[in-house]
Amino acid sequence: MPIRFFIKQWLMPPGLLFILLLAAWWLRKRRPRLAFACFTLGLGGLWLMSLPLVVEQVARQLETETPLSLAQWSGLAQRADAIVVLGAGRERGDPAWGGQDQPTGHALERMRYAAQLAKASGLPVLTSGGLHYGTPPSEAQLMADRLRDDFGVTVKWQEQASRTTWENAQMSAQLLQPLGIRRVVVVTQAWHMRRSRWSFEQAGFEVVPAPVGFLGQDHARPFAGLLPESRAMWQSGQLLNEVAGMIGYRLFY
C-alpha cells in the first residue's frame, strides 16, 4: 500500500508537474526546447491548479447529481431502506482528543448531513470504511462513534474492511443485501458522487444520491477566483484524483 501510494502521488498532479520542472532543469542545456516545454507545462499546470476559478469549473463537470431538497428528507423512507455514509480518511493522533484518531473534515461533513437525513427519515445508517495502513480503529468505527456521541445517531451496521469506493459498494452489499436491503441513500462529497453511485449500482443497489460539499458553486471569491490560493491547489488535486478514478473504474471494473 505505501509503495502504491508513493507511485500514485508522483504520477498525479502536482507530483507530475514537479517532475516536469525537474526535467526542465535537467534538460536546460542539452535540449533547451524540450526543457522550455517541460517548464511551461509544469509551471502552467501548477498555476492553473492554484486558481479557485479552475476548481469551480472542473467541479461543475463532476457534480452532476442533484442535491436533495429539504422537503425530500422526510420522504426518504419511501425511496430507500438505509443510509450509507462513505469514509473520507482520518486525522492521526489528534492531541486535542487525547491522541485519538479523528475523522477528516470531509468525513465530518458527510456525517453531519447523514445524521440530519437519518433523523428526518428514520432510516438506519451504515458507515463504510476500512483500516488506515492496517491500524485500527476502522474509518467506519470512527464515524460510528462520532455519529453517536456528537450527532446522537446510532449506527446499525459498520463495514470495516473497504479501502476504495468500489470496495465500499461491494462490501456494503455483502452486509445489506442478505437482509433484503437494495435501496440505499449514499452520502458523499458532490464531486465523488458519480463514481460512488456507479459503484453501488454495479453492486446491485438502487441509489438515492445525497451529495454534500459542492465545490462548483459561486463562493464569491475575490477577483473572480483568478488569484492563486493554497486551498485551491489541494482541491484541484482531489478533483484530478476523482477524474482518474472515474476513468480507471470504467476500465478495470
In-domain check, residue 105: yes
In-domain check, residue 92: yes
- Let me know whether 92 and 55 are in one domain: no
Specify the pTM: 0.93
Q: Peptide bond before 103: cis, by omega within 30 degrees of 0?
A: no
- Let me know whether 80 and 203 are in one domain: yes
- The better pLDDT of the pair 224, 142 is held by 142
Could you tell me the residue range of the domain that residue 48 belongs to?
2-62+227-252
CA atoms within 13 A on the CB side of 174: 11
In-domain check, residue 76: yes
Q: What CATH number is associated with residue 170?
A: 3.40.50.620
- Let me know whether 167 and 151 are in one domain: yes
In-domain check, residue 48: yes
Reported as a single tens digit per residue, the pLDDT across 33-74 is 999 999 999 999 999 999 999 999 999 999 999 999 999 999
- Let me know whether 140 and 239 are in one domain: no
- Let me know whether 116 and 96 are in one domain: yes
CA atoms within 13 A on the CB side of 154: 2
- Let me know whether 152 and 77 are in one domain: yes
- Let me know whether 91 and 179 are in one domain: yes
- Let me know whether 38 and 112 are in one domain: no
Torsion (CA) 220, 223, 228, 233 in degrees, nearest 10: 20
Reported as a single tens digit per residue, the pLDDT across 179-200 is 999 999 999 999 999 999 999 9
Domain count along the chain = 2
- Let me know whether 25 and 129 are in one domain: no
- Let me know whether 204 and 140 are in one domain: yes
- Let me know whether 119 and 192 are in one domain: yes
In-domain check, residue 247: yes
pLDDT of residue 217: 85
In-domain check, residue 220: no
- Let me know whether 58 and 82 are in one domain: no
In-domain check, residue 221: no
